[in-house]
């Protein structure tokens, strides 16, 4: 049984696709390249926390790698892409965010992404959780997630946690100037977010824009 098959067996409540399946095509694309040097650097530079997840807009150790500059030239139109990291432990959707730019995700470990399209948000600004799809991203593979594909922190496949390299236009997710903030959904620079109505984020005052199931991905080991 493959890892994906094990994952599906543990999660019969939600259909889990592979990013290599045709179902992923509206959400992004797979990039076939060797990202092993970046993956190995991440494992050395970012120890796994005991609980919770972490995010940094850029991780110096990978942001300044020669390979990072090559990826900027190959995949980012030579823009100043920041190479950051999301890592730790997470099993729930909790909310969804989006940016005005595409996002690159490298699975340093196996992980699951919960994605939805911005066009599925209703006129009331809310999203039915049944519109969300789950995608398995295997270790070592990078994807480009399109800007109209909503996402948030990955879900771990193993209880040992996840590492996910995050490539975005530099400045994205940095602290926003509160005097310039006009949109209540804007939580950081180039970042808009809607929370699940039963999540801690909604309790903290973020817009409860997702109703229905707060999807959970159960680990396989």
Mean pLDDT of 129-152: 98
Q: How many domains does the chain have?
A: 1
pLDDT digits (tens, 9 = 90+) for 27-39: 999 999 999 999 9
Is 36 a domain residue? yes
Q: Is the pLDDT of residue 1 over 90?
A: no
Q: Are 95 and 196 in contact (CB under 8 A)?
A: yes
Mean pLDDT of 62-67: 97
Kindly list the distances between the CA atom of residue 127 and the CA atoms of 136, 162, 212, in Å, as whole numbers in the listed order. 22, 27, 9
Q: What is the pTM of this model?
A: 0.97
Is 48 a domain residue? yes
Q: How confident is the model at residue 177 (pLDDT cuts 50, 70, 90)?
A: confident
Identify the domain containing residue 107 by its residue range.
28-210
Mean pLDDT of 137-147: 98
In terms of DSSP bridges, do strands 155-156 and 127-128 run parallel, antiparallel, or are they unpaired? Answer: unpaired
> Which tops the pLDDT comparison, 143 or 176?
143
Is 173 a domain residue? yes
> Which tops the pLDDT comparison, 41 or 179?
41
Q: What is the CATH number of the domain that holds 192?
A: 2.60.120.10
Is 218 a domain residue? no
Is 61 a domain residue? yes
Is 65 a domain residue? yes
CA 210 to chain centre: 17
Is 16 a domain residue? no
At 131 the pLDDT is: 98
Is 15 a domain residue? no
């Amino acid at each position: 049984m493959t890892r994906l098959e094990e994952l599906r067996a543990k999660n019969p409540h939600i259909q889990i696709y592979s990013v290599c399946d045709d179902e992923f095509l509206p959400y992004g694309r797979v990039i076939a390249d060797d990202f092993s040097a970046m993956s190995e650097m991440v494992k050395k530079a970012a120890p796994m926390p005991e609980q919770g997840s972490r995010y940094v807009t850029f991780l110096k150790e990978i942001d300044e790698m020669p390979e990072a500059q090559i990826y900027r030239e190959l995949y980012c139109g030579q823009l100043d892409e920041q190479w950051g990291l999301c890592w730790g432990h997470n099993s729930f959707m909790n909310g969804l965010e989006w940016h005005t730019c595409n996002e690159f995700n490298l699975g340093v470990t196996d992980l699951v992404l919960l994605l939805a399209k911005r066009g599925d948000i209703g006129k009331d600004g809310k999203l039915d959780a049944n519109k969300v799809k789950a995608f398995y991203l295997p270790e070592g593979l990078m994807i480009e997630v399109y800007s109209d594909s909503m996402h948030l922190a990955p879900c771990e496949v193993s209880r040992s946690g996840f590492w996910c390299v995050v490539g975005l236009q530099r400045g994205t997710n940095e602290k926003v100037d509160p005097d310039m903030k006009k949109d209540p959904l804007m939580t950081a620079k180039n970042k808009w977010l809607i929370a699940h109505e039963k999540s801690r984020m909604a309790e903290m005052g973020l817009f409860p824009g997702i109703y229905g199931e707060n999807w959970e991905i159960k680990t396989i080991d």
